A = this chain, B = another copy of it.
Amino acid sequence: MPPDPTIRQLRYFAMLAQTGHYRRAAERLGITQPSLSLQIAGLEETLGLRLVERGRGGAVLTPAGREVLERAARILDQVAALGDIAARLRTGMAGTIRLGATATLGPYILPNVARRLHDRFPDLRLFIHEAAPRRLFDDLLAGRHDLILTQLPVASDRLRVERLFREPMNLVVARSHPFAGRGRVTDADLAGQTVLTLSSAFALHAQIEALCHELGANLRQDYEGTSLDALRQMAAMGMGLAFLPALYVRSEITGRGDDVAVLQFRQDRFTRSIGLAWRTGSGDEASYRRMAELVREVAADDFRGLVVPER
């Protein structure tokens, strides 16, 4: 395999072609004429072509030289473009960040996040992948995500976590359920009730399970949903009660003509924690923190009163 020309050679050659003059080209490049001569000769050597016709009137390109120049110019343009990109990337807020998000939160907050992000940092793009938290966690460690937006806790000494906010869990029951008319329910009300939940790949599962144990409620074992919508359908059909996160409720349940009723429970003190996590030392920490701050802003501005800020 033949060796590559170097970018230096191409740059020198382009300048020589532009000036048509060794000494002038060398001067403009800030080098001496012999250095230029050697580099040009080296380029001719590696390409196996006479590129320049040396002579009295200065340096004139051969037909091959013109052909090579055309390509060299394109390469140099792209190298310059790479430099520009690098400069923008250096701010930390450019390029594409691969963000994994819980299916139980992403759809209901990321549109707002993406909009604000694009307004603030036009050069930054999000590539969003939704999955269950367990999967997100594995994929983050494996390097398939740069960042995950997920329910806490997320435990690993290889990860850095920023807590964002706590999201209240609302209780949802079928319209035909005895609770449906009431505005709120107490802990005692739930004893003996049947509760639906997501599959154990979701962090919600363990949380609901613990709650049921505490209150003496029955966790329905024969169904584990994989989406909040499915859970809500099950609840609407009277298969049990369901705890659904506030942002989902706000987004998907309008309050009129719905197939389910929404109830207060523990006055927003039953919540789940949401955070942003990334691998220690991955990418640019500062830009990830800025991302976290931006999500907090979204929570505060677009979902004020609905979620509880942290930090």
Contact = CB atoms under 8 A, between A and B. Distances in A.
B53 A66 contact: no
Given A57-B142, A71-B78, A71-B81, A96 B4 contact: no
A91 B285 CA distance: 54
A7 interface: yes
Interface string A1-23: 01011111001000000000000
B85 A67 contact: yes
A53 B282 CA distance: 6
Given A57-B142, A78-B74, A63 B4 contact: no
Given A63-B146, A64-B283, A71 B75 contact: no
Contact of A71 (B6, B68, B82): B82
A68 B49 contact: no
A181 interface: no
Interface in A1-58: 2, 4-8, 11, 47-50, 53, 55, 57
Interface residues of A, number: 47
A90 interface: yes
A199 to B, nearest CB: 27
A284 interface: yes
Copies of this chain present in the complex amount to 2
A202 to B, nearest CB: 26
B48 A90 contact: yes
Contacts of A96: 63, 66-67
A230 interface: no
A62 interface: yes
Contacts of A5: 7, 79, 82
A8 B46 CA distance: 15
Given A89-B67, A96-B66, A143-B57, A83 B2 contact: yes
Counting from the closest, the 4 A-B pairs by CB-CB distance are: A60-B143, A47-B86, A67-B95, A62-B283
Given A60-B282, A66-B96, 16 more contacts: A2-B83, A5-B82, A6-B6, A47-B83, A49-B86, A49-B89, A49-B90, A57-B142, A57-B143, A62-B282, A63-B96, A63-B98, A67-B94, A68-B85, A68-B89, A74-B78
